């Protein structure tokens, strides 16, 4: 209860978290919410404008693309891919980076030197270029996209957790735990990790927004899922080619992408403010 109250007092957590919760429900129940089959084509209805525009077709609220597919249904189904990549990739990146960061920050010595050098080398590569290269090597598909994001972004968690662990290790409560006689592993998992958790939770939320962007970029260049499967990046790439004939095919998935990433970023910043006692003061 003590943790929930600060969260509810933070507007960014309430607004952004509420939006993402609604988006999650939309993604889960997209087959029941979407008015049309996102793959159903009708060339006779190609490039129909959104509702209330001249020439609009009843039932196609956000219009259709050049193949007559319902834009609203494709945007709703696209949220499933975006959130799947966001949650899975961010979680796996957090687990790997946190374990290595804790080991480097707490045990130090050769473990810290090896992990830190590995992080420095890995972060020297441009992340977007490396992700494109990895997916090109592994082949397109959802698993390849997630794997590429995890391989790249675990370093972000590792560096932050390492720095936080080293800072916590110098505080009085750790020295007190050592004086009492707690083992090093007990201090790491029972004392230090809970105090690193607020920063980690905020970083996971920010990483979800990054994962959504990376998946959209890979979809945009045709390295994510099949072009038949609705993804926001794929819809943006399709709409860019016909922006003058059907601006809605480009604008609505771009708007969904922008608002989702903004929500993840604001949620992450809000969580950090709400959970960090120093920033609350």
Q: What is the pLDDT of residues 183-238, one digit of tens each?
A: 888 888 888 888 888 889 889 998 999 999 988 988 888 777 777 788 999 899 88
Residue 278 exposure: Cα atoms within 13 Å on the Cβ side: 3
Per-residue pLDDT, averaged over 259-268, amounts to: 93
pLDDT of residue 252: 93
pLDDT of residue 276: 64
Per-residue pLDDT, averaged over 155-166, amounts to: 91
Task: Tell me the C-alpha distance between 155 and 120, whole Å.
Answer: 9
Other CB atoms within 10 A of residue 57 CB: 17
pLDDT band at 281 (very low <50, low <70, confident <90, very high): very low
- CATH placement of domain 4-280: 1.10.3720.10
pLDDT band at 162 (very low <50, low <70, confident <90, very high): very high
Tens digits of per-residue pLDDT, 35-45? 988 988 888 88
Tens digits of per-residue pLDDT, 76-111? 999 999 999 999 999 999 999 999 999 999 888 898
The mean pLDDT of the chain is 87
φ, ψ at 70 (rounded to 5°): -70, 120
pLDDT band at 2 (very low <50, low <70, confident <90, very high): low
């Amino acid at each position: 209860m003590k943790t929930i109250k600060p969260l509810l007092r933070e507007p960014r957590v309430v607004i952004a978290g509420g939006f993402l919760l609604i988006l999650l429900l939309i993604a889960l129940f997209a087959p029941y919410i979407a008015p049309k089959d996102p793959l159903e084509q009708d060339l006779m209805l190609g490039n129909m404008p959104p509702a209330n525009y001249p020439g609009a077709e009843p039932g196609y609220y956000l219009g259709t693309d050049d193949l007559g597919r319902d834009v609203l249904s494709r945007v709703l189904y696209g949220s499933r891919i975006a959130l799947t990549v966001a949650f899975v990739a961010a979680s796996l990146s957090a687990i790997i980076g946190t374990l290595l960061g804790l080991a480097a920050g707490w045990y130090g010595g050769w473990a810290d030197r090896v992990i830190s050098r590995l992080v420095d080398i890995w972060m020297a590569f441009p992340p977007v270029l490396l992700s494109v290269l990895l997916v090109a090597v592994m082949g397109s598909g959802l698993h390849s996209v997630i794997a590429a994001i995890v391989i790249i972004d675990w370093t972000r968690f590792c560096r932050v957790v390492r720095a936080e662990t080293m800072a916590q290790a110098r505080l009085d409560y750790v020295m007190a735990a050592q004086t009492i006689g707690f083992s090093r592993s007990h201090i790491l998992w029972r004392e230090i990790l809970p105090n690193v958790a607020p920063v980690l939770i905020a970083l996971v939320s920010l990483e979800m927004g990054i994962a959504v962007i990376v998946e959209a970029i890979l979809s945009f260049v045709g390295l994510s899922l099949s072009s038949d499967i609705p993804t926001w990046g794929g819809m943006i790439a399709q709409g860019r080619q016909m922006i003058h004939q059907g601006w809605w095919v480009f604008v609505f998935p771009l708007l969904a992408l922008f608002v989702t990433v903004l929500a993840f970023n604001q949620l992450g910043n809000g969580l950090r403010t709400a959970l960090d006692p120093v920033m609350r003061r």
